[in-house]
Amino acid sequence: MIQITFPDGSIKAFEPPVTGEDVARSISEGLARNAVAMEVDGRLVDLYWTIDEDARVRLITVKDPEALKILRHSAAHVMAQAILRLYPDAKLTIGPVVEGGFYYDIDMEPLSEDDFPKIEAEIAKIVKEKIPIRRQEVSKQKAKEFYRDEPYKLEMIEDLPDGTISFYNQGEFTDLCRGPHLPHTGFVKAIKLMKVSGAYWRADQSKAQLQRVYGTAFFNKKELDEYLHFLEEAKRRNHRKIGEAQDLFSFHDEAPGMAFIHPKGMVVWNMLLDYWRVEHQAAGYVETKTPIILKRVLWERSGHWENYRENMYTTAVDDEEYAIKPMNCPGGMLLYRSRHHSYRELPIRAAEIGLVHRHELSGVLSGLFRVRAFHQDDAHLFMMPDQIQKEILDLLRLEERIYHTFGLGFHLELSTRPEKSIGTDEQWEQATEGLRSALEAYGQPYQVNEGDGAFYGPKIDFHIRDALGRTWQCGTIQLDMSLPERFDLTYVDRDNERRRPIMIHRTVYGSIERFMGILVEHFAGKFPLWMAPVQAVLLPINDELVGYAREINGVLSQAGLRTEVDDRSESLNKKIREAQLQNIPLMLTIGAKEKEAGTLAVRTLDGKVKYGVSREAFIEAVTDHVRQRKLELDLFE
């Protein structure tokens, strides 16, 4: 008999050999129906893997996070099997799982989305057949014999080390694969082909061009429908589309990856910075500014020339080499060194909205999300060792407060020392422990990413969550004991001795351009009143009332409101509709009745109308709403 230990610590005896299906069925038929794989002594394997000695076993069901990846891996095989049934001359290459689904690269005749219905119909047949998916292990030589007529698989096998190689069989279909996979094809109940594009074998333009067929899969149709709805909603919220429609920003071939911010976009930009400055001033920060171009010797001293050179733009001035800054840190070091410091001054919190440039490949540029020139809301904090925990705690609370103002949730990740780094083991250990202890005191859960820190120090990253549930890495807190040493930064301690300060690099928005793009999609272009480029549009119902509308507009503008008049000779309904398309929060209808009474009819973007509002009451309501930076448009509730 062998003993199987389950995650809850319970133990059950079995006659060997035993499969995962046997283990699941011994517990309940329901578990057996929903189990898709298992973890044996920490290794993820197929449900039909045989266990012949004592082991710790965790059964993976359709509800476990690992299950979706296993499903999509198997769905890629099901799609490939369907394509081979319809196109017998096709040659398979690789079919990995990717974010949101899977794809398979296939050497075959050109496909289009018009071909998808017949492929999906064949997929449905394979799913209905509930074909068992079984693993087979063979020698490398036998694998080469099996794939002697499959050049791509043969090339992959040649690259593998000597030893056994695993295949997966499902009916007439066999694929080279590590697994694990579902027990049978019947689990692939909700699958949809998404798109097809070209791809070169092994990303080499000198090699064959393949058909890359993308798909996605879920365990039930409801989840698939929700995902497709999510994609449609994300498409509707696309910040590039909204940015163009609302005249916020643009990109031009003369400056690839560098955003041109339009006047209305600058309103959003300035509202972000105004709020940032209010919060930072209250938190005891001073604001600084450093040059964009600095000598190569500075970047060599900071370590960027050695560790970040490929991402930097360089130039020559007076026969001397310079670099355009990819980050603000070295300039911040020079600022600190510009005078002597006492322990009484610490902590020093110096912030900078710095324009930086980084050479991103053209293929990865993506609207405001991935650019070559952007503004970092950087800050460098200098402190004594006994101030570390309090400063990090204060930072965590500052970032939480700012994100919540925009209705953004977040989760935290702690990233530790990467393979390529500067500094001593002792420095890294002290810095990492400083971040870890602050996170523990903060009391919120966090994830540890081993080896994912910056080359100069460990870091805490904020991954914010938008209205669609997507996550974006924005804020970061990086503890650095290396740069202060490289730049010989010191302060005079209580005992009149010179000490090395501890330094924190920190951002909240990260990139202001990127954060602005995130907010465009988060709000779907419907900015809260305090951020809206145009807060209210006045709509005179006829040409005779245009002059009066302009008079009112002047009063509102004098009160600090961002308003404009739609003086076109169009119908009121058309003006309202176009204001709604521009996502202007407030529409003020001006008719003869309003002129006579000296009031406003206020229509909000959601269609609610409040009649008989005095100018004074309107200005007070809007001003108070903006002051509180409210998200909901509840002016008169």
- Residues marked active site are found at 329, 358, 376, 378, 380, 459, 505
Q: SS3 for 432?
A: helix
* Helix H or strand E segment including 504: strand 502-511
HSE-CB of 238 using CA atoms within 13 angstroms? 10
Element (H, E) at 168: strand 164-170
3-state secondary structure 311-332: HCEEEEECCEEEEECCCCHHHH
Q: CA geometry: angle at 306 spanning 305 and 308, to 5°? A: 65
User: Any alpha helices (H) in 130-220, and if so which ranges?
Assistant: 140-146, 151-159
Measure Cα distances from 617 to 186, 210, 297, 539, 600 in Å: 64, 65, 60, 19, 10
Q: Is 205 exposed, middle or buried (0-12, 13-18, 19+ CB in 10 A)?
A: exposed
Ramachandran region, residue 93 (left: φ > 0; alpha: ψ -120 to 50; beta: rest): alpha
Paired strand residues for 56: 5
Q: Find the DSSP H helices in 198-319.
A: 221-236, 239-245, 263-282, 296-302, 304-307
d(CA 615, CA 607): 20
d(CA 261, CA 248): 6
Calpha distance 165→154 (Å, rounded):
12
CB proximity list for 531: less than 8 A, separation 6 or greater: 267, 268, 271, 272, 519
378 and 505 Cβ atoms separated by less than 8 Å:
yes
Joined tokens for residue 425 = 């083991």
In single-letter form, the type of residue at position 441 comes to A
102 with 95: CB under 8 angstroms? yes
Cis peptide before 501 (omega within 30 of 0): no
List own/partner pairs for 271-274 with CB under 8 A and 24 or more apart: 271/530, 271/531, 272/509, 272/512, 272/515, 272/516, 272/519, 272/531, 273/353, 273/512
Chain-centroid distance of CA 457 in Å reads: 22
Give the CA angle between residues 436, 441, 442 to the nearest 5°. 95
CB 595 within 8 A of CB 541: no
Give the whole-angstrom CA distance, residue 310 versus residue 331: 20
Between CA 602 and CA 608 the distance in angstroms is: 8
Which of 585, 632, 531, 537 has its CA nearest to residue 270? Answer: 531
